[in-house]
């Protein structure tokens, strides 16, 4: 049995119906799609079986929500992408910084770029965007095209 | 210790110790750092958004320009991701050439860093010597690719240039020179009091903290954790080339110096082996313009550590979403940990210790902060502002 299959079997046994889908597209890659409420439980479980390294958190604007993908690595080798979906209006998810402290900047990045609220995060102040950046404008969301963002900023600057 | 005695010291975005703009706010008690808050984003160019607007071919050039030091690592990571989506097998010779260029890049990047580290501790003679010798590897890179910074070697499906047999003796000659010099520098660094006094037991990062805070690359390996994407998640031809992972148990800045020196020597051996065992054959395969829907996670061991790209395609000629996480961002939480409890005078060398590359780290959105004004970086809007200012005059 491959290591990847063993991990997926273990996950399925532990998280059961909280897993919506799981696949192994190639060697050393796993994509798992879980229910939103199972985030902390899954991260805790994965950390216990060796996924201690969080590579990053990716946000993706999909039509009916925002997907968060937690990329976790086992001994630097197997990269597991744990995916969950949050609502577009008022997206919120608990922070995982209490389980993996290394997530602190990645959560802030997603917070700024997609407007996802990480509940319980110690500090969600601006990290990347300027202080004067308009509130509630999350630049990596699809509805904000470059033209839209440009207009927005120049309008403010010209005082129109 | 009362909070009243605490002083806040802003460090950057413009500071002599930082070669790129970034801001750190230090809270100090006397001379000791109590807390540090990073504020990144001063090099933010909106590259992730820009990826979504360009075709897969155009994006090779965009990926190359994420960073000027590890440009090859970014294109390797990008092309690998797209190749995985396209289900394309890269020809063996191209995989070897990718390793050779990547390792040359690692040598140049680590030599550059060693020079900067020497400069940060005020040892400018060493800095000048290191950078003079670094020219040897820069010449090799220029010989191989025609360029010193953006090598433009990678393309989707392979590499763009051959390493001709005529230039191999020249490469070997330069490698011999670099090996001799690196060994000499290692001897100097180990015995030189200036270096030891400024780096031993400075900026300590314990192994358990390094793992907890998700540190990567030489920063992690200098804390004794044997972790390297080239071995753990092999790509290009790394599964066929023998090499050692260099680690050190010192957990301080000096260990980071030793690890990088050791990695230069390893890279030299890897290039020798790759040149010796390079299979013959094609350099690239043709690939279609449009990419079928799917997603891929691609990882590369850049000179500064694990680099990860995520791509989601939608069947068109442009990606739906492209995400880049460069190693410097991964090392910032560890850096903040290292700084706490240290002296203000050691800030520059500890900061330099992770080999920060802020251009890499700040890539997402499209605004630049200069003179507290937001400027969109397109030519037309820029001209509009210039005209307006001229009218005002």
How far apart are alpha carbons A35 and A85 in whole angstroms? Answer: 8
Q: Can you spell out the DSSP letters for B14-52? A: S-TT-SS--EEEEEEETTEEEEEEEE--TT---HHHHHH
- Asked if residues B299 and B216 have their Cβ atoms less than 8 Å apart, the reply is no
CB contacts of A100 in chain B (<8 Å) are 212, 214
pLDDT at B391: 64
CB contact under 8 A, B362 and A128: yes
Residues making up chain A, counted from first to last: 160
Mutate to test the interface with B, among A73, A96, A124 (most CBs of B within 10 A): A73
pLDDT bracket for residue B345 (50, 70, 90): confident
User: Is B321 in contact with A103 (Cβ distance < 8 A)?
Assistant: no
Q: What is the mean pLDDT of chain B?
A: 86
Q: What is the pLDDT of residue B272?
A: 95
- Nearest partner of B233 among B216, B210, B247, judged by Cα: B216
Nearest-Cα distance to chain A for B247, in Å, is 15
Rounded to an integer, the average pLDDT of A91-109 is 92
- The answer to whether B284 and B91 have CB atoms below 8 angstroms apart is yes
B374: contact with A, CB 8 A cutoff:
yes
Is residue B307 a contact partner of residue B301, using CB atoms and an 8 Å limit? yes
Confidence band for B110, pLDDT divided at 50, 70 and 90: very high
How far does the CA of residue B49 sit from the closest CA of chain A (Å)?
A: 6
Cα–Cα distance, B102 to B184 (Å, whole number): 24
Q: Which of A25, A54, A128 sits opposite B214 (nearest CB)?
A: A54
The CA distance from B189 to B199, in Å, is: 10
Q: Which residues pair with B24 in a beta bridge?
A: B11, B38
Q: Please give the Cα distance from A104 to A85 (Å, whole number).
A: 20
pLDDT of residue A61: 92
Query: Which residues 33-92 in chain A show a CB within 8 A of chain B?
Result: 52-56, 58, 60-61, 69, 71, 73, 75-79, 81
Segment B173-201, tens digit of pLDDT: 999 999 999 999 999 999 988 889 889 98
* Position B390 confidence tier, pLDDT thresholds 50, 70, 90: low
Q: Is A10 on the interface with B (CB under 8 A)?
A: no
Residue B214 has pLDDT above 70, yes or no: yes
Domains, chain B, in order of start with CATH, read 48-332 (1.10.645.10)
Question: A139 and B365: CB-CB below 8 Å?
Answer: yes
Q: Is B215 on the interface with A (CB under 8 A)?
A: yes
Of B232, B312, B329, the CB nearest to A60: B312
What's the pLDDT score for residue B358?
A: 67
**pLDDT at residue B19, rounded to an integer:** 74
The pLDDT value recorded for residue B347 is 84
CA distance B320 to chain A (A): 9
Q: Distance between CA B299 and CA B94 in Å, rounded? A: 18
Mean pLDDT on B349-367: 63
Sole residue written with tokens 């407007």: A115
The closest of A83, A78, A81, A51 to A65, measured between CA atoms, is A83
Q: Cβ B306–A55 below 8 Å, yes or no?
A: yes
Kindly identify which residue of chain B lies nearest to residue A138, measuring between CA atoms. B365
pLDDT for position B380 = 55
Q: How confident is the model at residue B354 (pLDDT cuts 50, 70, 90)?
A: confident
Kindly indicate the confidence band of residue A160, based on its pLDDT and cuts at 50, 70 and 90. very low
Query: Which tens digit of pLDDT belongs to each residue from B270-322?
Result: 999 999 999 999 999 999 999 999 999 999 999 999 999 999 999 999 999 99
Question: What average pLDDT does range B343-371 have in this prediction?
Answer: 64
* Closest in B213, B299, B310 to A69, CB measured: B310
Per-residue pLDDT band for A152 (boundaries 50, 70, 90) equals confident
B366 versus B100: the higher-pLDDT residue is: B100
Positive or negative torsion for Cα A109, A113, A114, A120: positive
Rounded mean pLDDT of B253-271?
Answer: 94
The Cα–Cα gap between B38 and A38 comes to 31
What are B11-58's pLDDT values in tens digits? 878 777 677 788 888 888 888 888 888 888 888 888 998 999 999 999
Query: Is A133 within 8 Å of chain B by CB?
Result: yes
Which residues of chain A have a CB within 8 Å of the CB of B369? Answer: 130
Asked if A140 is an interface residue toward chain B (Cβ–Cβ < 8 A), one would say yes
In chain A, whose CA is at the least distance from the CA of B370? A130
Hey, are the CB atoms on B227 and A113 less than 8 Å from each other?
Answer: no
Q: What helix, strand, coil percent values describe chain A, rounded to 5? A: 35, 30, 35
- Which residues in chain A have their CB less than 8 angstroms from residue B227's CB? 53, 75-76
Q: What is the DSSP letter of B346?
A: G
Q: Which B positions 80-139 lie with beta carbon below 8 A of chain A?
A: 84
Cα–Cα distance, B284 to B93 (Å, whole number): 9
3-state secondary structure of B348: helix
Point out the residue among A69, A128, A153 whose CB comes nearest to the CB of B40: A128
**Interface touch A129/B297, C-beta < 8 Å:** no
Say what the ipTM of the complex is: 0.92
Which CATH architecture group holds A3-128? 2-Layer Sandwich (3.30)
Of B233, B333, B373, the CB nearest to A101: B333
Q: Which residue of B has its CA nearest to A130?
A: B369
Q: Are strands A53-62 and B373-376 parallel, antiparallel or unpaired?
A: unpaired
Judged by CB atoms closer than 8 Å, whether chains meet at B228 and A76 is answered as yes
pLDDT of amino acid B360 = 60
- For residue B237, how far is the Cα from the chain centroid? 20
């Amino acid at each position: 049995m491959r290591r990847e299959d063993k991990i997926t079997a273990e996950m399925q046994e532990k998280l059961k119906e909280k897993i919506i889908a799981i696949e192994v597209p190639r060697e050393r890659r796993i994509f798992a799609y879980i229910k939103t409420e199972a985030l902390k439980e899954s991260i805790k479980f994965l950390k216990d079986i060796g996924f201690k390294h969080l590579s990053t958190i990716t946000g993706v604007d999909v039509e009916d929500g925002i997907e968060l993908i937690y990329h976790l690595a086992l001994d630097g080798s197997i990269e597991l992408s744990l995916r969950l979906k949050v609502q577009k209006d008022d997206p919120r998810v608990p922070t995982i910084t209490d389980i993996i402290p290394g997530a602190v900047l990645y959560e802030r990045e997603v917070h700024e770029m997609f407007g996802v609220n990480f509940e319980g995060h110690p500090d969600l102040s601006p990290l990347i965007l300027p202080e004067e950046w308009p509130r509630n404008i999350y630049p990596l969301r699809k509805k904000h095209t470059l033209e839209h963002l440009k207009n927005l900023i120049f309008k403010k600057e010209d005082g129109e | 210790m009362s909070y009243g005695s605490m002083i806040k010291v802003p460090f950057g975005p413009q500071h002599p110790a930082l070669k790129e703009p970034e801001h750190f706010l230090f809270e100090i008690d006397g001379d000791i750092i109590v807390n540090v808050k990073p504020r990144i984003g001063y090099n933010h160019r909106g590259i992730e958004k820009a990826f979504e607007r360009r075709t897969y071919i155009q994006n090779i050039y965009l990926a190359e320009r994420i960073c000027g030091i590890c440009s090859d690592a970014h294109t390797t990571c990008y092309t690998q991701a797209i190749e995985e989506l396209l289900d394309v097998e890269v020809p063996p010779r191209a995989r070897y050439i990718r390793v050779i260029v990547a390792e040359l890049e690692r040598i140049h990047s680590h030599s550059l860093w060693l020079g900067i580290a020497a400069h940060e501790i005020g040892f400018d003679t060493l800095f000048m010597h290191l950078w003079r010798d670094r020219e040897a590897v820069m010449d090799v890179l220029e010989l191989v690719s025609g360029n010193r910074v953006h090598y433009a070697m990678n393309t989707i499906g392979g590499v763009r240039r051959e390493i001709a047999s005529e230039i191999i003796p020249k490469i070997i000659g330069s490698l011999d020179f670099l090996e001799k010099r690196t060994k000499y520098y290692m001897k100097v660094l180990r015995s030189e009091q200036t270096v030891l006094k400024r780096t031993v037991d400075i900026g300590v990062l314990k192994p358990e903290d390094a793992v907890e805070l998700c540190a990567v690359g030489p920063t992690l390996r200098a804390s004794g954790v044997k972790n390297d994407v080239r071995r753990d998640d092999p790509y290009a031809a790394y599964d066929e080339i023998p090499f050692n992972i260099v680690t050190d148990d010192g957990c301080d800045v000096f260990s980071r110096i030793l690890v990088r020196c050791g990695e230069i020597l390893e890279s030299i051996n890897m290039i020798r082996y790759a040149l010796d065992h390079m299979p013959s054959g094609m350099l690239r395969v043709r690939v279609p313009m449009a990419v079928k829907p799917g997603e891929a996670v691609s990882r590369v061991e850049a000179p500064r550590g694990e680099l990860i790209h995520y791509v989601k395609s939608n069947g068109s000629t442009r990606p739906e979403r492209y995400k880049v996480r460069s190693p410097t961002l991964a090392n910032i939480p560890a850096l903040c940990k290292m700084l706490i409890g240290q002296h203000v005078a050691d800030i520059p060398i500890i900061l330099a210790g992770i080999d920060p590359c802020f251009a890499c780290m700040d890539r997402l959105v499209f605004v630049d902060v200069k003179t507290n004004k937001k400027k969109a970086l397109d030519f037309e809007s820029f001209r509009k502002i210039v005209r307006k200012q001229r009218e005002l005059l």
